[in-house]
Structure 1
Amino acid sequence: MAHVVSFGAHIADALGWPFTEVPPGQQLAILERIKFTVAGTAAAPSVNLAKLGVDVATVGRIGDDSIGEFVRTTMERYGVDTTHLTVDPRLQTSSSLLPIRRDGSRPALHVIGANAALSEDDIPWDVVAEATVFHLGGAFILPGIDGPPMARILRRAKSLGCITTVDFLMSPRPDAQELIGPSLPYIDYLMPNIEEAGWLVGTEDRAAIIAWLHAQGVGCSVLTMGGEGVSIAVRGEDEIVLPAYAIDVVDTTGCGDAFTSGFISGLLDDLDLVTAAERGLACGSLVATGLGSDAGIVDFDQVERFRTTQPRLPA
């Protein structure tokens, strides 16, 4: 039985490090590393949850191609239940090219691919009914889900007794509030990064962002803020800000997804929200110390040692 159903974006990343510039014409630039990983706001949390010892079923679409086979077999190797990955006969597996700069930042070149065809009909509701957490990852890059279908999905998941968690993958767009607004009352924990949350609400003021999300019905806003830590605010209660861990950043790819996995693991263990968020921060920090979404995290014991012993940045 899966304790978590992770539904949404499944992506294969090709990462190159360190990226400095695009060579002119057909000239060659030498990188130190190129790596292929399973990524995406549903797939990457699934992998990390499995590393933490959580029974997780991943639900999404991949193409009938070698990239999709890589995604499926890699997830299975980590212990993720991939029974409910649908193979799309027409569209390629969603993929990204990520040239990683030495400071850990990167532009992204992306093909939506099979994620575009994901629909509510792909969800195994009998599996969801037995789960504790339903995670939806990839709002704004799932055209078959965004809008009314997402609201129906989250409403049904809550009616089945699931805790609902949601993460974004977005750029600024004028219809953002229209697309996600109907879903917000059915989200227990909304976990975008602060930049994405600002794009959604239309302000960089964190207090205003939190107030807007709560006014729309979100149960708890969990805003990841990179080196500034994480903001947690339960609707009707004061905000809590936790400082980040002190680390040497290699690559920020997948840090938010890693936070998601650690936080959900904490919810499953009935931790208080601060401790659950600290586990999330530990997971995100560990991923940032290596290249790609699958870096850093080894297992539960390693994450807990890091959480309790690693120095924190000043608040």
Structure 2
Amino acid sequence: MNVRRLIPTTALAGAVTLGLVTLSACSGTSDAAGKGSGGKLDVVASFYPMQYLAEQIGGGHVAVDTLTKPGVEPHDLELKPKQIGELGEADVIVYLKGIQPAVDEAIAQAGVANTVDAAALTELEDHGTSSGHDHAAEEADHDHASEAGADPHIWLDPVKYAEVAKGVGAAFEKADPDHAADYRKNTDALLKKLGALNTEFANGLKNTTTRTFITTHSAFGYLAERYGLEQEGITGIDPESEPSPARVKELQDIARKDKVSTVFFETLASDKTAKTLANDTGLQTDVLDPLEGITDTSKGADYIQVMQSNLAALQKALGAK
């Protein structure tokens, strides 16, 4: 993720707006669900983490359309005029502001009223740098980012993701009060799944040989903090940028000192940097999926399964006992 694309937010929301659940002007009325496809609530999700919440919470009462199709890098998404026009017809739009500038702009053009800001549902933190990170390069790439450099990857922490899920559930209840009981029930079921996933991670990563992992995409700051790990990003927030020679040497030293065995790369970005570093240091490579999209090559069919695959990869790399 390129920090240049992160959009500053108001002082109310803190450093970066995590996400918004935007409701149409009919959100307070009981006939909202009747306006959609086959009587269902029409929901537009910006990319996979928002889609998963909408589908799990909405169940059979919603028709979910995703702006970012499988295999598309979310940050580079460009919308067609037809998609922009259809946004205004949605009953609910679920998106993460600051991740996809094209989506933010389209929603502004759509003029959809009655927004519920999910940024207040969880605390955002700065994970843009790791210990010893190339601060000069970070600052140069930070011109349009929020002052605090807040990390938007909250969905990779099951606890924070659950906090956002509660807000999405409440928004669906408001948009379609006739089915509020079902949305509440589905939200509770999802919260149990995420709670169980959190327990799996906590127990699975409790005892390991090392607590440090190296990744091309610094997307796992919240996950690392939650489970007492140390994320060392090769290039910081942007998975496509090249590390400085000084950073490469630093990572080689960290790998030796902290007994790191593996360099992780992600599914939707190039693995060139990870493989180069791994070859230079004699390390292995593996996938740690930031879950910005699900494809046929993903190690799992949905959020829970891919996160469990991430846990297995971390356990192997960290020497879990």
Common fold: TM-score over 0.5:
no
TM-score, normalisation: structure 1: 0.32
Bigger helix fraction: 2
Structure with more contact order per residue of length (Cα contacts < 8 Å, sep ≥ 6): 2
Bigger strand fraction: 1
Larger radius of gyration: 2
TM-score, normalisation: structure 2: 0.32
